[in-house]
Amino acid sequence: MTLLRAALTSPFKRGGGRPGAALPAERAIRPPAPVAPGPLAAYRRICGFPDTDELPLTYPHVLGFPLALRLMTARRFPLPVVGLVHTWIEITCHRAPHPADPLELTVYAEGLSPHRRGTEVTVVTEARRAGELIWESRSGYLSRHSTNTRRAASTSHDTSTRHTRHAPNASDVADAPDTAGTRTTSSGPTAAVPDVTGTADAPGPSVVAEWRLPADLGRRYGAVSGDRNPIHLYPLTARLLGFPRPIAHGMWTVARCLAEAPTSGTIRRVRADFRAPVPLPATVTYAADVTGFRLRGADRVHLTGTTDGPPGPPSAPAPATDGLP
Protein backbone atom coordinates (compact mmCIF):
# COMPACT_ATOMS: atom_id res chain seq x y z
CA MET A 1 0.00 0.00 0.00
CA THR A 2 2.89 2.36 0.79
CA LEU A 3 4.56 1.80 -2.59
CA LEU A 4 1.20 2.08 -4.37
CA ARG A 5 0.67 5.48 -2.78
CA ALA A 6 4.21 6.43 -3.73
CA ALA A 7 3.61 5.43 -7.35
CA LEU A 8 0.53 7.65 -7.47
CA THR A 9 2.20 10.67 -5.89
CA SER A 10 5.64 10.39 -7.52
CA PRO A 11 4.62 12.13 -10.78
CA PHE A 12 4.01 15.26 -8.71
CA LYS A 13 7.51 15.10 -7.21
CA ARG A 14 9.95 15.77 -10.02
CA GLY A 15 13.20 15.78 -8.12
CA GLY A 16 12.35 19.23 -6.83
CA GLY A 17 14.49 19.03 -3.74
CA ARG A 18 17.24 21.62 -3.72
CA PRO A 19 20.60 21.16 -1.96
CA GLY A 20 20.46 22.91 1.38
CA ALA A 21 16.67 22.95 1.41
CA ALA A 22 14.89 22.01 4.61
CA LEU A 23 13.82 18.39 4.84
CA PRO A 24 10.93 17.22 7.00
CA ALA A 25 12.07 17.20 10.62
CA GLU A 26 10.12 14.06 11.46
CA ARG A 27 11.92 11.01 12.79
CA ALA A 28 10.39 7.60 12.25
CA ILE A 29 10.80 5.47 15.37
CA ARG A 30 10.19 1.80 16.07
CA PRO A 31 9.83 1.05 19.79
CA PRO A 32 12.22 -1.52 21.31
CA ALA A 33 11.49 -5.02 20.06
CA PRO A 34 13.44 -8.25 19.51
CA VAL A 35 14.11 -9.54 16.01
CA ALA A 36 11.60 -11.94 14.47
CA PRO A 37 13.44 -15.24 13.92
CA GLY A 38 11.70 -16.24 10.66
CA PRO A 39 12.57 -13.14 8.60
CA LEU A 40 16.10 -13.14 10.04
CA ALA A 41 16.62 -16.75 8.99
CA ALA A 42 15.36 -15.97 5.47
CA TYR A 43 17.72 -13.00 5.26
CA ARG A 44 20.69 -15.10 6.36
CA ARG A 45 19.88 -17.69 3.70
CA ILE A 46 19.59 -15.35 0.73
CA CYS A 47 22.69 -13.35 1.70
CA GLY A 48 24.81 -16.26 2.93
CA PHE A 49 25.32 -15.19 6.54
CA PRO A 50 25.94 -18.00 9.06
CA ASP A 51 23.56 -18.62 11.94
CA THR A 52 25.39 -17.00 14.87
CA ASP A 53 24.36 -15.22 18.04
CA GLU A 54 25.01 -11.81 16.42
CA LEU A 55 22.94 -10.03 13.83
CA PRO A 56 24.51 -9.68 10.37
CA LEU A 57 26.18 -6.28 10.10
CA THR A 58 23.69 -5.12 7.46
CA TYR A 59 20.50 -6.41 9.11
CA PRO A 60 19.56 -3.37 11.23
CA HIS A 61 19.44 -1.42 7.96
CA VAL A 62 16.83 -3.91 6.70
CA LEU A 63 14.87 -3.58 9.96
CA GLY A 64 14.85 0.18 9.50
CA PHE A 65 13.79 0.09 5.85
CA PRO A 66 10.02 0.31 6.56
CA LEU A 67 10.71 3.45 8.61
CA ALA A 68 12.80 4.93 5.80
CA LEU A 69 10.06 4.12 3.31
CA ARG A 70 7.50 5.83 5.53
CA LEU A 71 9.64 8.97 5.58
CA MET A 72 10.34 9.00 1.86
CA THR A 73 6.71 8.43 0.84
CA ALA A 74 5.38 11.23 3.04
CA ARG A 75 3.81 14.20 1.24
CA ARG A 76 6.41 16.62 2.58
CA PHE A 77 9.37 14.56 1.36
CA PRO A 78 10.68 16.47 -1.69
CA LEU A 79 11.87 13.54 -3.85
CA PRO A 80 9.86 10.80 -5.59
CA VAL A 81 10.58 7.47 -3.93
CA VAL A 82 9.76 5.38 -7.00
CA GLY A 83 12.98 5.02 -8.95
CA LEU A 84 15.28 6.21 -6.15
CA VAL A 85 18.64 4.46 -6.41
CA HIS A 86 21.01 3.63 -3.59
CA THR A 87 24.40 5.26 -4.26
CA TRP A 88 26.47 4.58 -1.14
CA ILE A 89 26.26 3.41 2.46
CA GLU A 90 28.40 3.68 5.59
CA ILE A 91 27.73 1.33 8.52
CA THR A 92 29.29 1.55 11.96
CA CYS A 93 28.65 -1.10 14.61
CA HIS A 94 29.65 0.19 18.05
CA ARG A 95 28.46 -2.91 19.93
CA ALA A 96 27.26 -6.04 18.19
CA PRO A 97 23.45 -6.44 18.39
CA HIS A 98 21.93 -9.85 19.09
CA PRO A 99 18.62 -11.27 17.84
CA ALA A 100 17.08 -11.20 21.32
CA ASP A 101 18.03 -7.56 21.93
CA PRO A 102 15.02 -5.22 22.08
CA LEU A 103 16.34 -2.74 19.50
CA GLU A 104 14.86 0.71 19.19
CA LEU A 105 15.20 2.05 15.63
CA THR A 106 15.23 5.66 14.49
CA VAL A 107 15.35 6.84 10.88
CA TYR A 108 15.58 10.41 9.61
CA ALA A 109 16.68 12.36 6.55
CA GLU A 110 19.85 14.37 7.14
CA GLY A 111 20.26 16.54 4.05
CA LEU A 112 20.10 17.02 0.29
CA SER A 113 23.20 17.13 -1.90
CA PRO A 114 23.73 18.06 -5.57
CA HIS A 115 24.45 15.17 -7.89
CA ARG A 116 25.18 15.48 -11.57
CA ARG A 117 22.46 12.96 -12.25
CA GLY A 118 19.97 14.76 -10.02
CA THR A 119 19.58 15.22 -6.25
CA GLU A 120 20.82 12.93 -3.50
CA VAL A 121 19.37 12.61 -0.01
CA THR A 122 21.20 11.18 3.00
CA VAL A 123 19.11 8.94 5.22
CA VAL A 124 20.32 7.95 8.70
CA THR A 125 19.31 4.78 10.55
CA GLU A 126 20.18 4.31 14.23
CA ALA A 127 19.73 1.27 16.49
CA ARG A 128 19.72 1.63 20.27
CA ARG A 129 19.78 -0.96 23.01
CA ALA A 130 18.57 0.25 26.41
CA GLY A 131 19.05 3.82 25.17
CA GLU A 132 22.64 3.27 24.00
CA LEU A 133 23.50 3.86 20.33
CA ILE A 134 25.06 0.56 19.24
CA TRP A 135 24.68 0.65 15.44
CA GLU A 136 24.20 3.34 12.78
CA SER A 137 24.20 3.75 9.03
CA ARG A 138 24.17 6.61 6.54
CA SER A 139 22.92 6.05 3.02
CA GLY A 140 22.77 8.12 -0.14
CA TYR A 141 19.69 7.83 -2.36
CA LEU A 142 19.66 9.45 -5.78
CA SER A 143 16.64 10.94 -7.50
CA ARG A 144 17.58 11.20 -11.17
CA HIS A 145 16.46 14.30 -13.05
CA SER A 146 17.89 16.86 -15.44
CA THR A 147 20.14 19.48 -13.90
CA ASN A 148 21.78 22.72 -15.01
CA THR A 149 25.12 21.11 -14.15
CA ARG A 150 24.59 18.36 -16.71
CA ARG A 151 23.49 20.78 -19.42
CA ALA A 152 26.46 23.03 -18.78
CA ALA A 153 28.86 20.09 -18.92
CA SER A 154 27.39 18.85 -22.20
CA THR A 155 28.05 22.20 -23.90
CA SER A 156 31.54 22.68 -22.53
CA HIS A 157 34.48 22.05 -24.86
CA ASP A 158 37.06 22.36 -22.10
CA THR A 159 37.02 18.81 -20.82
CA SER A 160 39.88 19.35 -18.41
CA THR A 161 38.01 22.17 -16.72
CA ARG A 162 34.82 20.10 -16.67
CA HIS A 163 36.50 17.19 -14.90
CA THR A 164 38.12 19.55 -12.42
CA ARG A 165 34.85 21.20 -11.50
CA HIS A 166 32.89 17.98 -11.34
CA ALA A 167 35.33 15.47 -9.88
CA PRO A 168 33.98 11.94 -10.30
CA ASN A 169 33.44 9.92 -7.18
CA ALA A 170 32.50 6.46 -6.11
CA SER A 171 28.77 7.14 -6.43
CA ASP A 172 29.07 8.70 -9.88
CA VAL A 173 27.73 5.80 -11.86
CA ALA A 174 25.68 4.17 -9.15
CA ASP A 175 22.62 2.47 -10.61
CA ALA A 176 22.70 4.60 -13.76
CA PRO A 177 20.97 3.02 -16.76
CA ASP A 178 23.23 0.27 -18.12
CA THR A 179 22.95 1.15 -21.82
CA ALA A 180 25.57 0.22 -24.37
CA GLY A 181 28.08 2.93 -25.08
CA THR A 182 26.70 5.29 -22.44
CA ARG A 183 28.40 6.25 -19.20
CA THR A 184 27.46 9.01 -16.81
CA THR A 185 29.38 10.72 -14.04
CA SER A 186 28.49 13.21 -11.34
CA SER A 187 29.77 15.21 -8.45
CA GLY A 188 28.59 14.00 -5.06
CA PRO A 189 29.50 13.84 -1.40
CA THR A 190 32.28 11.27 -1.59
CA ALA A 191 35.98 11.35 -2.38
CA ALA A 192 37.16 11.22 -5.98
CA VAL A 193 38.31 7.93 -7.45
CA PRO A 194 40.30 7.47 -10.65
CA ASP A 195 38.21 4.71 -12.24
CA VAL A 196 35.24 6.76 -13.45
CA THR A 197 33.80 4.25 -15.89
CA GLY A 198 34.44 1.14 -13.86
CA THR A 199 36.06 -0.48 -16.90
CA ALA A 200 39.74 0.05 -16.12
CA ASP A 201 41.50 -3.15 -15.11
CA ALA A 202 43.45 -1.47 -12.33
CA PRO A 203 45.21 -3.57 -9.66
CA GLY A 204 42.84 -4.56 -6.90
CA PRO A 205 41.81 -7.35 -4.55
CA SER A 206 42.30 -10.97 -5.56
CA VAL A 207 39.31 -12.85 -6.95
CA VAL A 208 37.63 -15.10 -4.41
CA ALA A 209 34.61 -16.42 -6.29
CA GLU A 210 32.42 -16.07 -9.35
CA TRP A 211 28.67 -15.79 -8.80
CA ARG A 212 25.84 -16.38 -11.27
CA LEU A 213 22.94 -14.17 -10.21
CA PRO A 214 19.48 -15.36 -11.29
CA ALA A 215 16.89 -13.17 -13.00
CA ASP A 216 14.52 -13.37 -10.02
CA LEU A 217 17.09 -12.31 -7.40
CA GLY A 218 15.50 -8.87 -7.04
CA ARG A 219 12.08 -10.35 -6.38
CA ARG A 220 13.45 -12.88 -3.91
CA TYR A 221 15.49 -10.32 -1.96
CA GLY A 222 12.61 -7.83 -2.11
CA ALA A 223 10.33 -10.37 -0.45
CA VAL A 224 12.85 -10.81 2.37
CA SER A 225 13.89 -7.17 2.82
CA GLY A 226 10.64 -5.38 2.02
CA ASP A 227 12.40 -3.30 -0.66
CA ARG A 228 10.15 -3.81 -3.69
CA ASN A 229 11.40 -0.87 -5.73
CA PRO A 230 10.18 -1.62 -9.31
CA ILE A 231 13.73 -1.25 -10.70
CA HIS A 232 14.57 -4.58 -9.02
CA LEU A 233 11.56 -6.69 -9.96
CA TYR A 234 10.69 -7.29 -13.61
CA PRO A 235 12.01 -6.20 -17.03
CA LEU A 236 8.85 -4.16 -17.69
CA THR A 237 8.87 -2.30 -14.37
CA ALA A 238 12.59 -1.65 -14.72
CA ARG A 239 12.20 -0.29 -18.26
CA LEU A 240 9.48 2.10 -17.13
CA LEU A 241 12.12 3.70 -14.89
CA GLY A 242 14.95 3.78 -17.44
CA PHE A 243 16.69 0.44 -16.87
CA PRO A 244 16.86 -2.13 -19.68
CA ARG A 245 16.69 -4.97 -17.16
CA PRO A 246 15.93 -5.27 -13.45
CA ILE A 247 18.98 -4.64 -11.28
CA ALA A 248 20.17 -6.30 -8.10
CA HIS A 249 19.60 -4.53 -4.81
CA GLY A 250 22.69 -2.67 -3.69
CA MET A 251 22.15 -3.88 -0.13
CA TRP A 252 22.09 -7.49 -1.30
CA THR A 253 25.45 -7.05 -3.04
CA VAL A 254 26.99 -5.48 0.08
CA ALA A 255 25.56 -8.14 2.37
CA ARG A 256 26.66 -10.97 0.09
CA CYS A 257 30.20 -9.60 -0.07
CA LEU A 258 30.38 -9.23 3.71
CA ALA A 259 28.94 -12.71 4.26
CA GLU A 260 31.62 -14.18 1.98
CA ALA A 261 34.45 -12.50 3.89
CA PRO A 262 36.28 -15.07 6.05
CA THR A 263 36.34 -12.57 8.92
CA SER A 264 32.82 -11.25 8.41
CA GLY A 265 32.01 -11.73 12.09
CA THR A 266 34.75 -9.28 13.12
CA ILE A 267 33.93 -6.45 10.69
CA ARG A 268 32.54 -3.46 12.54
CA ARG A 269 32.66 -0.73 9.92
CA VAL A 270 32.05 -0.75 6.19
CA ARG A 271 31.85 1.88 3.47
CA ALA A 272 30.37 0.70 0.16
CA ASP A 273 29.97 2.66 -3.07
CA PHE A 274 27.67 1.45 -5.81
CA ARG A 275 29.61 2.16 -8.99
CA ALA A 276 27.26 0.69 -11.61
CA PRO A 277 24.08 -1.39 -11.58
CA VAL A 278 24.15 -5.18 -11.70
CA PRO A 279 21.62 -6.12 -14.40
CA LEU A 280 19.86 -9.41 -13.80
CA PRO A 281 20.66 -12.11 -14.67
CA ALA A 282 24.41 -11.61 -14.43
CA THR A 283 27.74 -13.27 -13.74
CA VAL A 284 30.00 -11.31 -11.39
CA THR A 285 33.29 -11.88 -9.62
CA TYR A 286 33.83 -11.16 -5.94
CA ALA A 287 37.31 -10.07 -4.85
CA ALA A 288 38.63 -9.20 -1.40
CA ASP A 289 41.80 -8.36 0.50
CA VAL A 290 42.70 -7.06 3.95
CA THR A 291 41.22 -3.61 3.26
CA GLY A 292 37.95 -4.35 1.53
CA PHE A 293 36.16 -5.92 -1.40
CA ARG A 294 35.03 -5.42 -4.97
CA LEU A 295 32.30 -6.82 -7.18
CA ARG A 296 32.66 -6.59 -10.93
CA GLY A 297 31.15 -7.91 -14.14
CA ALA A 298 32.76 -8.60 -17.47
CA ASP A 299 33.47 -4.97 -18.31
CA ARG A 300 32.92 -2.81 -15.25
CA VAL A 301 33.16 -2.55 -11.49
CA HIS A 302 29.76 -2.65 -9.82
CA LEU A 303 30.66 -2.20 -6.16
CA THR A 304 33.68 -1.25 -4.08
CA GLY A 305 33.92 -1.38 -0.33
CA THR A 306 36.30 -0.83 2.55
CA THR A 307 36.08 -2.44 5.97
CA ASP A 308 37.75 -2.26 9.35
CA GLY A 309 38.42 -5.98 9.31
CA PRO A 310 40.57 -8.20 7.07
CA PRO A 311 38.21 -9.96 4.61
CA GLY A 312 41.18 -11.68 3.01
CA PRO A 313 40.74 -14.17 0.17
CA PRO A 314 41.63 -17.84 0.42
CA SER A 315 44.84 -19.04 -1.20
CA ALA A 316 43.10 -19.90 -4.49
CA PRO A 317 39.90 -18.64 -6.17
CA ALA A 318 36.79 -20.61 -5.35
CA PRO A 319 34.84 -22.30 -8.16
CA ALA A 320 31.92 -20.52 -9.79
CA THR A 321 28.64 -20.64 -7.92
CA ASP A 322 25.16 -19.28 -8.48
CA GLY A 323 25.96 -16.46 -6.04
CA LEU A 324 23.39 -17.69 -3.53
CA PRO A 325 23.94 -19.92 -0.52
pLDDT on residue 120 = 92
Closest CA to 310 of 253, 265, 263: 263
Determine which of 45-49, 52-56, 118-122, 321-325 has the lowest per-residue pLDDT on average: 321-325
pLDDT digits (tens, 9 = 90+) for 84-112: 888 999 999 999 999 999 999 999 998 88
pLDDT digits (tens, 9 = 90+) for 231-284: 999 999 999 988 999 999 999 999 999 999 867 778 999 999 999 999 999 999
Q: Under 8 Å CB-to-CB from 126, ≥6 apart: which residues?
A: 105, 106, 107, 133, 135, 136
Q: What is the dihedral of CA 257, 66, 176, 147, to 10 degrees?
A: -140
pLDDT digits (tens, 9 = 90+) for 150-202: 444 433 333 333 333 233 333 333 434 333 322 222 223 322 222 333 444 45
Closest CA to 96 of 49, 129, 65: 129
pLDDT on residue 17 = 52
The yes or no reply on domain 1-154 and CATH 2.40.50.140 is: no
Domain with CATH 3.10.129.10 in the chain: 1-154, 201-325
Q: Under 8 Å CB-to-CB from 78, ≥6 apart: which residues?
A: 13, 16, 17, 18, 21, 23, 112
Q: Is 169 helix (H, G, I), strand (E, B) or coil?
A: strand
The yes or no reply on domain 201-325 and CATH 1.10.760.10 is: no
Distance CA 213, CA 124 (A): 29
Q: Under 8 Å CB-to-CB from 107, ≥6 apart: which residues?
A: 27, 28, 29, 64, 67, 68, 71, 123, 124, 125, 126
Query: Residue 19, preceding bond cis, omega within 30 degrees?
Result: no
pLDDT digits (tens, 9 = 90+) for 283-309: 999 998 878 899 999 889 999 999 985
Q: Do β-strands 28-33 and 103-115 pair in parallel, antiparallel, or remain unpaired?
A: antiparallel
Is pTM, for the whole model, over 0.85? no
Could you give the C-alpha distances from 293 to 16, 65, 82, 160, 280, in angstroms and in order?
35, 24, 29, 31, 21
Residue type for 242, please? G
pLDDT digits (tens, 9 = 90+) for 170-180: 333 343 433 33
